[in-house]
Amino acid sequence: MNFKIKLSFFLISGFLIPANLLAQPIVVKVNQPKTMIQPTMWGIFFEDINLAADGGIYAELVKNRSFEFAKPLMGWKIMKPDTTTGVLILNQSATNPSNPRYARISVPDGEKSFGLSNEGFRGMGIKKGMTYHFSVLARQSGESNLKMRIELVSASGEKLGSAMLAPEGKEWKKWTVDLTSSGTEQKARLNIWFEGKGSVDLDMISLFPDDTWKNRPGGLRADLVQLLADLKPGFLRFPGGCIVEGRDLNNRYQWKKTIGDISQRQVIVNRWNTEFKHRQTPDYYQSFGLGFFEYFQLAEDIGAEPLPILSCGMACQFNTAELVPVDQLDPYIQDALDLIEFANGSADSKWGKIRLQMGHPAPFNLKMIGVGNEQWGTQYIERYTAFEKAIHSKYPAISLISGTGPSPDGKDFDYASKELKKLQAQIVDEHYYANPEWFLKNARRYDSYDRNSYKIFAGEYAAQSKFTCSPDNQNNWRCALAEAAFMTGLERNADVVSMCSYAPLLAHVEGWQWKPDLIWYDNLRSFGTDNYYVQKMFSNNKGTQVLPMLIENQPLTGQNGLFASAAFDQASGEIILKLVNVSDQPKKANVILEGSKKLAAKGKMLVMKSEDPDRINSLDQPTLVSPLESEFVVKGKTITPDLPGNSFTMIRIRQAK
């Protein structure tokens, strides 16, 4: 045993010195702010993967509400079928191509125990005392007198609430009724029993809780939006991700089909449904109830800049890699131009008027658009060039995001980077899904980037505990800590890096395809991962200017296991320090706030730590690894924070104005 290491204090020249005190001071040059940190620095990346939209943040509880899945009755069960009663699926594509199918329920003999039951998305999360809004588009002819008994039932068959609805009239009409639940249930079902005689046509069978975000009818799950809002994100990137591109061009995300009347938003298959053999999700479709209007509204609600990403005429290059010939790109480019008009145009413009009709007269103040998601090769550069020319000639103030493909280095990356520089690209999206060691090694990645070229959007990153796309990846503390270390490098280089987002964002514990993810949930509960709290600590403590923070005149990028960055916040007058100790040994830092004005007597500290790097948050222990807040005394211009092993510490100290 090394006795000296066991000692917690050394005696040097008559002074007691803590054994773990760093030999060299860390100097923060408070009076030498280097560069601005963009308000967009830390944002969020939303993609409909892992049941993020349908079955996730979009609070609809009925799966396959309009019978448009490939198997029209997927998600539905016919209760007590017999020979005289039945369900027919009719297809009226000639008159309603966006929503062709509907169900015809026939009960010619007055059979009493016939019904339809919907299983929801891995069940329906139902809360005691909560009101649920049922709605349906229905019609039935004069002699038919079918009534619908709507019931919420638990997994064990216990009735939790019921209501009657008697739709009438030959024309399609929306009928609504409310139910209140007498119990809380994770895996409830919706049963619809038909009473009487005749036949009724049904479409858009829907059930929403009353407690949506901002209580908007047909809105979003409030707990999930709250977790997003708590991040105070600088931007919201939507709708992805590869979902933008589609498996083939036909399956790409087409924003114009996601706005207006929800019954006219054409349902398509979600490209993630059968992507991974290990996580088949054949019942994953996109209803687009969360469409582009709702994305813009969400961004506005949580104070984030909207960042839509559009198809550039290239289907996912990991799938079909279909391409639109360059001379046929016009409709794709027109979609981008029209989107700008939809977001920002006046009430007398074609697309601005639709925004107004949807209830948002004020512009959404769109400032940037992404051209393609994660494309690569000469084909991308050709298509980006065409988009850039058209968009900037009509809208010179819109910033364009381009990309260097899925990999942070290599031949395709180098090619895209060189070509985008020549094209004077504005903001370039780089993706890194790699092991935690990569994140530690790359804390200096941007130190040597060209200061006279494009800005960086670190648009998708997450440390992978196993390997990319492994179903065994974990949101553990080792990964989150490596991301924190890397993020100090992003912040330190805020003159080059202007936007960053972890990916993917959301995942249902029973419906995921991709791990790790920032936020997890079941039908009733949700939690932020270790990685979520790292993101939150950076985003909530962003500051406005980078301050040099040096040890032996060098930035802290792993010396003694430490990574660090410093910022100044002009609004509050605070100095903000972020220190990441990736070693398992505690350290005591000696931080000199050089050139600072008089400091407040007390500072605030948030510490995230775990001795066990495999520790993860979960539905049952949602904040096991999360920041703990404390105060500390400031004496003069030096502070000596304790940095526990495997920890991330954020410090705020107010400076006199």
Active-site residue numbers?
374
Q: Return the bridge partners of 15, or none.
A: 12
Both tokens of residue 367?
């400032």
Minimal distance in Å, beta carbon 167 to ligand AHR?
Answer: 41
Nearer to ligand AHR, 67 or 520 (CB): 520
Q: Which residues inside 488-507 make contact with ligand AHR, applying CB under 6 A?
A: 503-504
Minimal distance in Å, beta carbon 375 to ligand AHR?
Answer: 10
Contact 391, 336 (CB under 8 A): yes
Minimal distance in Å, beta carbon 58 to ligand AHR?
Answer: 18
219 near ligand AHR (CB under 6 A): no
Residue 5 burial by Cβ neighbours in a 10 Å radius (0-12, 13-18, 19+): exposed
Nearer to ligand AHR, 464 or 646 (CB): 464
Nearer to ligand AHR, 185 or 460 (CB): 460
Q: Other CB atoms closer than 10 Å to residue 303's CB: what's the count?
A: 12
Grouping H, G, I as helix, E, B as strand and the rest as coil, residue 302 is coil
Contact 31, 595 (CB under 8 A): yes
In total, the chain counts a number of residues equal to 657
Q: Where are the alpha helices (DSSP H) in 72-213?
A: none
315 near ligand AHR (CB under 6 A): no
Q: How far is CA 170 from the centre of its chain?
A: 43
Residue from the set 240, 246, 561, 641 that interacts with ligand AHR by CB under 6 A: 240
374 near ligand AHR (CB under 6 A): yes
Residue from the set 460, 530, 569, 574 that interacts with ligand AHR by CB under 6 A: 460
373 near ligand AHR (CB under 6 A): yes
Minimal distance in Å, beta carbon 142 to ligand AHR?
Answer: 51
Which region among 184-192, 239-247, 585-593, 624-632 touches ligand AHR (by CB under 6 A)? 239-247
Q: How many residues belong to the site for ligand AHR (CB under 6 A)?
A: 12
Q: How far is CA 491 from the centre of its chain?
A: 21
User: Strands 159-165, 147-153: parallel, antiparallel or unpaired by DSSP?
Assistant: antiparallel
Which region among 155-163, 234-242, 572-580, 587-595 touches ligand AHR (by CB under 6 A)? 234-242
Which residue in the block uniquely carries the two structure tokens 């796309």?
469
Which residue in the block uniquely carries the two structure tokens 């000696």?
590
Q: Which residues inside 496-555 make contact with ligand AHR, applying CB under 6 A?
A: 503-504, 514
Contact 161, 181 (CB under 8 A): yes
Nearer to ligand AHR, 427 or 494 (CB): 427
Cα–Cα dist 179/181, whole Å: 7
Nearer to ligand AHR, 185 or 374 (CB): 374
Nearer to ligand AHR, 460 or 569 (CB): 460
380 near ligand AHR (CB under 6 A): no
Minimal distance in Å, beta carbon 240 to ligand AHR?
Answer: 5
Pick from 620, 628, 444, 437: nearest CA to 537: 628
Nearer to ligand AHR, 48 or 119 (CB): 48
| Main-chain phi, psi angles of 610, to 5 degrees | -160, 125
CA atoms within 13 A on the CB side of 476: 15
47 near ligand AHR (CB under 6 A): yes
Q: Where are the alpha helices (DSSP H) in 263-377?
A: 292-301, 330-344, 350-357
Which region among 145-153, 174-182, 237-245, 410-418 touches ligand AHR (by CB under 6 A)? 237-245
Residues that bind ligand AHR (CB under 6 A): 47, 49, 240-242, 373-374, 406, 460, 503-504, 514
